[in-house]
Amino acid sequence: MKRRVLILSASSGEGHVRAGKALEKAFAARGDCDVEHINALDYTSKSFQKIYDDAYIAMVRRAPGVLGWFFQHIDQPWRHERRRLAFDRLNTRPMVRLLKRVQPDICVTTHFLPAEIAGWLKLKGKLAARHAVVVTDFDVHAMWICRGVDRYFVAREEAAEYLVQLGQPRESVSVTGIPIDSAFAEAKDARAIRVKMGLDPCAITILVAAGGHALAPVEKMVKSLLELDRPCQIVAITGKAVQIRQRMEKLAAAWGADRGHRARLRVVGYTQEMDQWMAASDLLVGKAGGLTVSEAMASGLPMAIVGVLPGPQEDRNAEHLIECGAAIRCHELTTAAWKIGKLLDDPSRLGAMREAAKRIGRPRAAFDIAAECVELAAGTKRAG
């Protein structure tokens, strides 16, 4: 009999949903699971959705310092547990009803909100599923820590040790990496992909990514790189930000009209071929979101990190990559292009960073997590 798998992500940030989709594909590919993936925020109150979705993005854009202070302040394991659970329970009654009704064999959460609710239901004896929490950053923020969890899946050994020191049984923590789309696990020929994408197969290629909500300073970054006027091609991924894409396309047209420039600019909007663009590139310039970082490392693509979001999560993701030798960090946007230019002038250093990225990349994390979850579910009984 097939295992029933319910994956709960949340749309407050693209990464949680992308991780959920990657796991959905991995479970489905096995052939022994019936899998469903839902956005947990669809099963909360309307006001709660506004707080988690619209308000979060607005805070990032208008008051990043306040948001950063908030995430830093609440990064204290167990301290705010009761108040947070009480508030979340009040606003997630539709989610509670869903979990009680579906009663899956395996419940996988890629966001801390549904993780907390599923864990609470398990402790109350109202959910018999095996409960797996997939942390989508390289560090474990206190909001991920909850009771009633059968297995934590984390990105690195230090994160696992942190959970163990907080009392999580060592055997219930697995270091698998962050789940990414299976396309990143496929071998690719960079030269062939560049030809396919209409790029110069021999030119240094810099990929500048704005992120799902266009929160990285992609416009300023691209303009600064173009002013270096070195022989390279810049691919700017603007995501769903239509206005930014239109402005960038005007810049590309004006820049291309002057034949004296040695740099080329290609503008791409929302794409589902990020694995192709990463495989075609020599350096990724962008934020240090957990999914973006994991995709880049799986592609063997070093990073120049700019525009880190406030709060400890992306800051620690960046620290990890730098510690492993797979990235540089540009704290000041005014000198970022200069710093990137110095890196491109040192091919041996860039090559070493590429090898470091390959070493820490985990392209098959989603498949490994799915396999462990199915093993964990062996003998699970449904709640009556």
Residues listed for the chain: 384
**Domains of the chain from N-terminus onward:** 3-180+364-376 (3.40.50.2000), 188-360 (3.40.50.2000)
Q: With contact defined as beta carbons under 8 Å apart, do 239 and 267 qualify?
A: no
Q: Could you tell me which residues are beta bridge partners of residue 36?
A: 6
**What are the structure tokens assigned to 363, written together?**
């392209």
CA-nearest of 55, 61, 19 to 295 is 19
Alpha-carbon torsion angle 86, 87, 93, 95, nearest 10:
-100
Pairwise CA distance, residues 122 & 316, whole Å? 31
Instruction: Determine if residue 103 is left, alpha or beta; phi over 0 gives left, psi from -120 to 50 gives alpha, anything else beta.
Output: left
Written as one letter, the residue type at 281 is S
CA-nearest of 97, 45, 77 to 147 is 77
Q: With contact defined as beta carbons under 8 Å apart, do 181 and 256 qualify?
A: no
Q: Which long-range contacts (CB under 8 A, 24 or more apart) does 49-55 make?
A: 52/10, 52/12, 52/113, 53/11, 53/12
Pairwise CA distance, residues 330 & 341, whole Å? 12
- Cβ neighbours of residue 286 closer than 8 Å, sequence gap 6 or more: 207, 208, 209, 210, 211, 216, 218, 292, 303, 305, 306, 307
Measured in degrees and rounded to the nearest 5, phi and psi for residue 134 equal: -105, 110
Measured in degrees and rounded to the nearest 5, phi and psi for residue 131 equal: -110, 115
**Strands of the chain, DSSP E:** 3-9, 33-39, 106-109, 130-134, 151-154, 173-175, 205-209, 233-237, 264-268, 283-286, 303-305, 327-329
Q: With contact defined as beta carbons under 8 Å apart, do 213 and 56 qualify?
A: no
Pairwise CA distance, residues 300 & 314, whole Å? 20
Pairwise CA distance, residues 372 & 384, whole Å? 25
- Cβ neighbours of residue 131 closer than 8 Å, sequence gap 6 or more: 107, 109, 115, 118, 119, 122, 148, 149, 150, 151
In order along its 384 residues, the chain shows pLDDT tens digits of 899 999 999 987 789 999 999 999 999 999 999 999 999 999 998 888 877 766 666 666 666 666 666 677 677 787 878 888 888 888 999 999 999 999 999 999 999 999 999 999 999 999 999 999 999 999 999 999 999 999 999 999 999 999 999 999 999 999 999 999 999 999 999 999 999 999 999 999 999 997 655 556 788 899 999 988 788 999 999 988 888 899 999 999 988 766 667 889 999 998 999 999 999 999 999 999 999 999 999 999 999 999 776 667 888 999 999 999 999 999 888 899 999 999 999 999 999 999 999 999 999 999 999 999 999 998 544 443
pLDDT digits (tens, 9 = 90+) for 328-372: 999 888 899 999 999 999 999 999 999 999 999 999 999 999 999
Q: What is the pLDDT of residue 383?
A: 41
Q: Could you tell me which residues are beta bridge partners of residue 164?
A: none
**What are the structure tokens assigned to 201, written together?**
């197969």
Buried/exposed code over 170-184 (b: 16+ C-beta within 10 A; e: otherwise): eeebbbbbbbbbbbb
Q: Could you tell me which residues are beta bridge partners of residue 233?
A: 205, 264
